Amino acid sequence: MNFLGFKRADGKVGVRNHVVILPSVACANEVCNAIARKVAGTISIPHQHGCAQLAFDAEQTARTLAGVGKNPNVAAVLVIGLGCEVVNSPMIASRIAESGKPVKNLIIQEVGGSPKTIKEGIKIAREMVSYASRPRREKAKPYSLILGVECGGSDACSGLSANPALGVTSDLLVREGGTIILSETTESIGAEHLLARRAINKKVREKILKIVRRTEMRALDLGLDIGKANPAPGNYEGGITTLEEKSLGCVMKGGTGKVMEVLEYAEMPTKKGLVLMDTPGHDAESVTGLIAGGTQIIAFTTGRGNPLGSPIAPVIKIATNSPLYSKMRDNMDINAGEIITGDKTVQEIGEKIFREVFRVANGKLTKSEIWGHREFAINRIGPSF
């Protein structure tokens, strides 16, 4: 199945056409917000980080911000820095420029304060919007699609309805040559043997086991029980009893394909087919890692109800049960609860999600986009100093 998308200089294809005003550091957030408020067709992506970070932690934040800018859903980027931060704006801008798209960079301390930077930024943003409004959607092949599969606010139906159905979708897209990124390492604990069994080679198998062990050890080393936070209180209320039960349902979203590679947080896949990304079970952090890895669309299952979106990618919400679908219909795009009631099969809903992915790729807005949900959170792996 083909779709209509925006072809980028690096050969990638976007399903959206955003102009992003990106702070490299939290101190630049309000300047970015002010520019985005003034220039229609732009979005700012405020975040909390970029300063007083070290080594691998600073690199992960930089990789995330650069990855968001490189994402094919983004037409052009204006990066704004303060001037004294570790994750500086010239570095982020040059990493984004590797993709060949228009990128500009402003430094508040060099331009001379907020109003001057806002004024200068507005001028640049206006030009970027004019540029971005020119291209039309063109026919693209499904192998250009990267679909992130995510679950949040799971219940005990997740593993029976929406997640296996999304697994069918994943298998269909992989068959068409596309890529699926399965994330949330915490929610692989207790199900990692099923993924490891499907690894394409020994190296991938070992990396799957390594990222799961690493995540589990982070809690054990602190003497803490992951089960106090994941499953979350709402998961327990929804009938999930243990982390293993949640994980076994969670990994079904990836389908049944071979695991081709394992990515670090916010890393871009180098292989087609099913790949894993090491992200935490925090939905906003996980989705942010996925979009930084080049995911154009997220398919997100929920049993308790979750409205989460993303600044640059459409998020398709799939309800695991019909009571939730009725109650939070304003936030839900597809009801997989019909599987529980016996009205539809897992295969039928999987095919329905697959068709919806292509409709959304062609431009149909998801509920998360219509409501302006733009949740964004960068996963930290070190303290601030």
Partner 1 sequence: MKKKFFKKIILNHPKDNVATAKSPIPPGTLLPFLKEGRIIAKELIPFAHKISIRKIPKGSPVIKYGERIGKAIRSIEPGELVHVHNVVGERGKKG
Enumerate binding residues for partner 1 (CB under 8 A).
155-157, 159-160, 186, 189-191, 194, 216, 219-220, 223-227, 230, 236, 238-239, 241-245, 248-249, 303, 321, 323, 340-342, 346
Nearer to partner 1, 159 or 289 (CB): 159
For the bound state, the minimum distance from the C-beta of residue 252 to partner 1, rounded and expressed in Å, comes to: 8
For the bound state, the minimum distance from the C-beta of residue 211 to partner 1, rounded and expressed in Å, comes to: 14
Nearer to partner 1, 266 or 324 (CB): 324
Which residue pairs from 104-108 have beta carbons closer than 8 angstroms and sit at least 24 positions apart in sequence? Answer: 104/77, 104/78, 104/79, 104/128, 105/78, 105/79, 105/80, 105/81, 106/78, 106/79, 106/80, 106/81, 107/80, 107/81, 107/82, 107/83, 108/27, 108/28, 108/31, 108/80, 108/81, 108/82, 108/83
For the bound state, the minimum distance from the C-beta of residue 241 to partner 1, rounded and expressed in Å, comes to: 5
For the bound state, the minimum distance from the C-beta of residue 90 to partner 1, rounded and expressed in Å, comes to: 41
Nearer to partner 1, 10 or 225 (CB): 225
CA dihedral 325, 327, 330, 333 (to 10 degrees): 0
Residue 179 token pair: 């890529």
201: DSSP letter: S
Least Cα distance to 182 among 71, 293, 74 occurs for: 293
For the bound state, the minimum distance from the C-beta of residue 168 to partner 1, rounded and expressed in Å, comes to: 11
For the bound state, the minimum distance from the C-beta of residue 1 to partner 1, rounded and expressed in Å, comes to: 24
Sheet containing 103-107: order of strands:
42-44, 18-23, 74-81, 103-107
Nearer to partner 1, 44 or 320 (CB): 320
Nearer to partner 1, 67 or 337 (CB): 337
For the bound state, the minimum distance from the C-beta of residue 200 to partner 1, rounded and expressed in Å, comes to: 22
Give one word for 357, left, alpha or beta, with left for phi > 0 and alpha for psi -120 to 50: alpha
Nearer to partner 1, 238 or 254 (CB): 238
Q: How many Å apart are CA 168 and CA 171, to the nearest integer?
A: 5
Nearer to partner 1, 55 or 224 (CB): 224
